[in-house]
Structure 1
Amino acid sequence: MLRFLRSLYFGRRLFYALFGISILFLISFWIEFLYSITWILTAILGVLLFSDIVALFKGFPISAERYLPEKFSNSDENGVKIKIENKYGFKVYSEVIDEIPVQFQKRDFLRSIELPAHHTVNFEYQLKPLKRGEYIFGNLNIYISSFLKLAKRRFVFNKDQMVKVYPSFIQMKRLDFLALDQKISLHGIKRIRRIGHTMEFEQIKEYVRGDDVRTINWKATAKQGNLMVNQFQDERSQPVYSIIDCGRMMKMPFEGLSLLDYAINSSLAFSNVALKKKDKVGLLSFSNKIDNLQKASSKLSQLNRIMQALYNVNTGFYDSDFSMLYSRVKKHLSHRSLLMIYTNFEHMSGLQRQLPFLKALAKQHLVVVIFFENTEIIKLTNITPANISESAHQTVAEQFSHNKLLMVKELQRHGVQTLLTKPADLSINAINKYLEIKSRGML
């Protein structure tokens, strides 16, 4: 009986009908013949309500299932599929309320669907997580009503399903083609001009117009009687590390996503491209201590290990210790490597404190310091000030923006490669920087 009462709900039509009957009872105080008619209408309503409840509560004629992917991709749209099967012998109307994880702060999910007799309906909705971690889905609630819509029956399915949100593997797959083709023509992707060549020999081929005459192989030319040239390819099996700063500066949010999550998504996409280019990839995260160190490897399983490691990377409110980073890199990375350091500097003084350690790293490795443009400040520089207050804000914003450019010049002056980018363009620009370094043979 208690289960029956918990699953029984009443529709709006019943309350509208009861309100109308109460008005008729009120009017019958002055018009007496309406009193009898109102009782007849009340009896009819009671019969209809009873028959509606009996029809809805025969057996268990509704089945439903929520299908979740194995994992969610952070900062991307992820599909959640719902399947509902109607075993009633008549058409019913359903209201689907899915208890979405608390991280989304979404409490207005409702889908109204008509279910024909003995019919199955599938639909899908999208969720965009902005944090990594475990997301718990609650009940899948389905409220069924007949064409009378006087009563509803509640069905509950799929209690407490859990899905993990990983760094953006959807973005990684979307940028996968960059490992195969450097002739990029899509909007938003910077073209890279190949300069020179690397020194890893691939094959000898016949000379065609446009080949570099410096690569002519004179011995092969003498044997074949035709001009022959050496063909080179990008050097492979070079160690490449993504070094992620997990300090307090990476806590800053842009468009709902922290700088740390932008860096993590970029590291995964970048590592995938580097593996496709046959390089060894590794990972290091740090703040006031070394949180994670994955030695560089070119094995296919390395990408999965990096994804698992990135899943657990979190930021705190500590100042990052670049001196400790330098000592750990010097101890564990004996071979010259490409170090893609994801960090952020908002003031020149912050850069000056860490510059000696970056210069020391650059003596042994090829260092690329990646930091971020403040897009909110850039918006202020583009407005037309309407008063003195806005003009003052714009002046300060222009100074902050100019300081970022000075930081780039300062790092380049000391032989450190730099990449200043908007957070949203980070993955594309980081991969392009890597391809540029490969094409120039700088590592």
Structure 2
Amino acid sequence: MEADRVLPEKFSNSDENMVKITIHNQHGFKTNVEVIDEIPVQFQKRDFLKSLEIPAHKKISFDYLLKPLKRGEYTFGNLNVYVSTFLKLIKRKYVFNKDQLVKVYPSFIQMKNLDFLALDQKINLHGIKRIRRIGHTMEFEQIKEYVRGDDVRTINWKATAKNNHLMVNQFQDERSQPVYSIIDSGRMMKMPFEGLSLLDYAINSSLAFSNVALKKKDKVGILSFSNKIDTLQKASSKLSQLNRIMEALYNVDTGFYDSDFSLLYSRVKKHLTHRSLLMLYTNFEHMSALQRQLPYLKAIAKNHLLVVIFFENTEMTKLTELDVSNVSESAHQTIAEEFVHDKLLMAKELQKHGIQTLLTPPKDLSINTINKYLEIKARGLL
């Protein structure tokens, strides 16, 4: 009897990943086989059992799916195969593939699924907004013949006189602009929603967003911080930049420290000398927490286009939608409504000071972040 466990080169965090098992019966008779795979401890799954009948000299394969919720190294134990004949009087145990290691990276599957947004933002799918282009950016692309629907304000009169028919200037989104994902890895980002921490939601979104920005020919970089600067990858538009970002995001982790926004401001001022688009992933649960950090956010926004991305508390939102039946439930609902209202006030407070804001449910983070980026590019704000 031979068996093999085939693992992908790496797992994608928060996505279904396929594991394939192949078993080859080299006996000259049909066998009954029970397969027990020792799945990594992170999954807390101890009931794996697959029963098969394998004809003589035949090979059978099957697969199963695993969904990791945390980045890092996962170790598979033994692949145990118990073999018996049709009488089932005795079983023989075979052991294969001891201690296989696989690394779980930020969600590259989600990144690939959202890859098309870099090519066409006019696709009408659920969750994807059409962006109204307000004016145009001033990066010249070419002169072309006028067709109905072109903006008459872009008519090139010299080219029109030379060719004896209407010609217009065509513009494109400005390219090679520096774009940074700034990830707050402080204790507030440890909060879990649907099994995944806010930090991992932010990391998955940063990877998908960086891929789209690179396809749009912008320079992308990342920065992570808590009580110190953990990671700083300077913006670049090279093809290898996405792999560097993925490796850097793999190592981002959170402790239980308060985030130092004054340190963030000093590092941004020192290292990011050109005006850049800064997508800051953070979270505030109370207005007082925002007020403490607002002076630093305003200082950063003076020299850069800052977008503060923080999270709706979806559990609180669910509480506000329940039908209450007693005083205790009514009190809980009142508190939940106050939390939801505070989030909206925070967004308005940031906007009042000229800071772009995105308040989003965790599960919609990636698509909403990319939409915000496409809107900024379309409006030529950077």
2:206 matches 1:259: no
Alignment match, 1:406: 345
Question: Which of residues 179, 190, 195 is equivalent to 2:129?
Answer: 190
Q: Where does residue 250 of structure 2 map in the other structure?
A: 311
Give 1:240-319 correspondences, 5 Å limit: 240-319=179-258
Q: 2:7 maps to what in 1?
A: 68
Q: Any idea what SS the aligned residue of 2:27 has?
A: coil
Task: Give 1:393's aligned amino acid.
Answer: H
- Where do residues 40-189 of structure 1 align in structure 2 (5 Å cutoff)? 62-189=1-128
Measured after TM superposition, the shift of residue 217 of structure 1 is 0.7
- Root-mean-square deviation (CA, aligned residues, Å) is 0.6
Partner of 2:330: 391
Give the structure with the higher percent helix: 1
> Which one of the candidate residues 184, 191, 216 is aligned to 2:155?
216
Q: Deviation of residue 194 (structure 1)?
A: 1.9
Amino acid at match of 1:353: R
Distance apart, 1:192 and its partner CA: 1.9
Shift of 1:184: 2.6
Which amino acid in the other structure matches residue 82 of structure 2? Y
TM-score (norm 1): 0.86
Name the aligned partner's letter for residue 67 of structure 2.
Answer: K
Identical aligned residues as a percent:
82
Q: Which has the larger radius of gyration?
A: 1
Q: Which residue identity lines up with residue 95 of structure 1 in the other structure? A: E
Q: Which runs of 5+ in 2 are unaligned?
A: none
Partner of 2:359: 420
Q: Paired residue for 1:331?
A: 270
Aligned to 2:140: 201
Instruction: Number of aligned residue pairs: give it.
Output: 382
Q: Report the 3-state secondary structure (helix = DSSP H, G, I; strand = E; otherwise coil) of the residue aligned with 2:136.
A: coil
Consecutive unaligned residues in structure 1, runs of 5 or more: 1-61
User: Offset of 1:214 from its aligned partner?
Assistant: 1.1
TM-score normalised to the size of structure 2? 0.99
Distance between the aligned counterparts of 2:150 and 2:127, measured in 1? 30
Distance 1:429 1:325 in 2: 24
Cα distance between partner residues in 2 of 1:191 and 1:343? 26
Shift in Å, 1:276? 0.3
Work out which of the residue numbers 309, 319, 329 in structure 2 matches 1:370. 309
Please give the alpha-carbon distance, in whole angstroms, between the structure 2 residues aligned to 1:216 and 1:188: 36
- 1:315-369 per-residue CA deviation (whole Å, 9 max, x = no partner) reads 0110000000000000000000000000000000000000001101111000000
Displacement of 1:227 after TM fit?
Answer: 1.1
Q: Distance in 2 between matches of 1:288 and 1:113?
A: 54
